[in-house]
């Protein structure tokens, strides 16, 4: 049976990936900070689907976190067939007034750890000439976003990086996919400190996490490089910046996301 490693598996989209892949008979390695949540999810999936689930409780912003996770997997003698780089956070607000350490942590978690894990697990996949890597970007990756600047920049990084890796690795039998959801039904916006009126607004276009996951896995099967799952509004969100000057796009989001 094949193995998927999912970062940020204790909640939201990561937990939905765990649920869906378990229902398809995959063994899982679940990574996040909340050991209790990971253990509860692992217990329920093992009982429900008779699969094996290992948990790794790890803060991925700690130094050498990717190496620690990789070494634990190697020590167990597992080879990962599907890596899902899902853990990601954001921080709403004016960059100049923000907590500088937090901005650096966001870059660390959303991009550096993703690159590190990808580089480590890709080696075995290429040797075996099979495997998949799913990286969580966002509709935010297609445009600048004042008041959510670092987050959008990290998601643009992930999008560009994943498209390049998709092309580099196709002939080695490894599929790399950037998943670019729009607002999805998780605690993400609350965790990122969005004001409640903005959360109310975006929640009207929420895509269920199950849909994000199913669209992502369908795209992986088709060996696509990018997928924009769910609500058709998300297609508008990724495409409209192509038809307007870049400063108009930035000014639109400055207006839309400004604190009122
Ligand atoms: N929800 C959306 O609207 C949306 C839209 C586009 C893209 N995305 C992307 O989708 C991914 C998942 O988001 P989500 O909505 O599911 O968010 P979420 O519900 O807030 O879940 C975030 C996950 O990341 C984990 N995590 C956070 N900090 C971590 C750290 N330092 N080390 C290890 N794990 C950490 C959390 O677990 P612990 O707290 O237990 O560590 C949790 O499992 C993110 O990359 C996000 O950018 C989300």
pTM: 0.98
Q: Can you give the CATH number for the domain in which 136 is found?
A: 3.40.50.720
* Domain carrying residue 208: 3-257
Phi, psi angles (nearest 5°) of residue 142 = -95, 0
Helix, coil or strand: residue 178: strand
Pocket-forming residues, ligand 1, beta carbon under 6 Å: 8-14, 32-34, 37, 59-61, 86-89, 109, 136, 138, 181, 183-184, 186-188, 191
For 175-188, how does the pLDDT look when each residue is reduced to its tens digit (9 = 90+)? 999 999 999 999 99
Tell the residue nearest (CA) to atom 15 of ligand 1: 188
What per-residue confidence (pLDDT) applies to 260? Answer: 87
User: Which atom belonging to ligand 1 lies closest to the Cα atom of 139?
Assistant: 6
The segments of the chain whose pLDDT lies below 50 read none
Q: Which atom of ligand 1 is nearest to the CA of 87?
A: 24
Q: Does residue 118 contact residue 133 with C-beta atoms inside 8 Å?
A: yes
Q: Which of 49, 92, 147, 151 is the catalytic position?
A: 151
Number of domains composing the chain: 1
Q: Is 151 noted as a catalytic residue in this protein?
A: yes
Q: Which atom of ligand 1 is nearest to the CA of 62?
A: 31
pLDDT at 1: 62
The region, left, alpha or beta by phi > 0 then psi within -120 to 50, assigned to residue 12 is left
Give the CA count within 13 Å in the CB-facing half-sphere of 124.
Answer: 17
């Amino acid at each position: 049976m094949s193995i998927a490693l999912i970062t940020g598996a204790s909640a939201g989209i990561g937990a939905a990936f765990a649920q869906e892949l378990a229902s398809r008979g995959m063994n899982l390695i679940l990574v996040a900070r909340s050991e209790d949540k990971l253990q509860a999810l692992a217990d329920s999936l093992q009982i429900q689907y008779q699969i094996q689930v290992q948990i790794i409780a790890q803060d991925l912003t700690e130094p050498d976190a990717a190496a620690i996770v990789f070494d634990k997997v190697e020590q167990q003698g597992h080879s990962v067939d599907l890596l899902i780089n899902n853990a990601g956070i954001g921080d709403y607000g004016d960059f100049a007034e923000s907590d500088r350490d937090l901005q650096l942590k966001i870059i660390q978690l959303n991009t550096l750890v993703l690159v590190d894990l990808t580089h480590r697990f890709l080696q075995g996949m290429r040797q075996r000439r099979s495997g998949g890597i799913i990286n969580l970007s966002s509709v935010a990756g297609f445009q600048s976003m004042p008041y959510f600047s670092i987050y959008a920049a990290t998601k643009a990084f992930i999008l560009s990086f994943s498209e390049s890796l998709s092309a580099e690795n196709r002939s080695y039998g490894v599929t790399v996919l950037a998943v670019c959801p729009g607002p999805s039904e998780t605690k993400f916006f609350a965790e990122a400190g969005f004001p409640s009126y903005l959360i109310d607004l975006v929640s009207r276009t929420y895509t269920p996490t199950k849909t994000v996951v199913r669209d992502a896995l369908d795209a992986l099967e088709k060996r696509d490089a990018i997928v924009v799952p769910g609500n058709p509004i998300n297609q508008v969100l990724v495409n409209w910046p192509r038809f307007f000057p870049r400063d108009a796009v930035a000014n639109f989001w400055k207006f839309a996301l400004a604190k009122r």
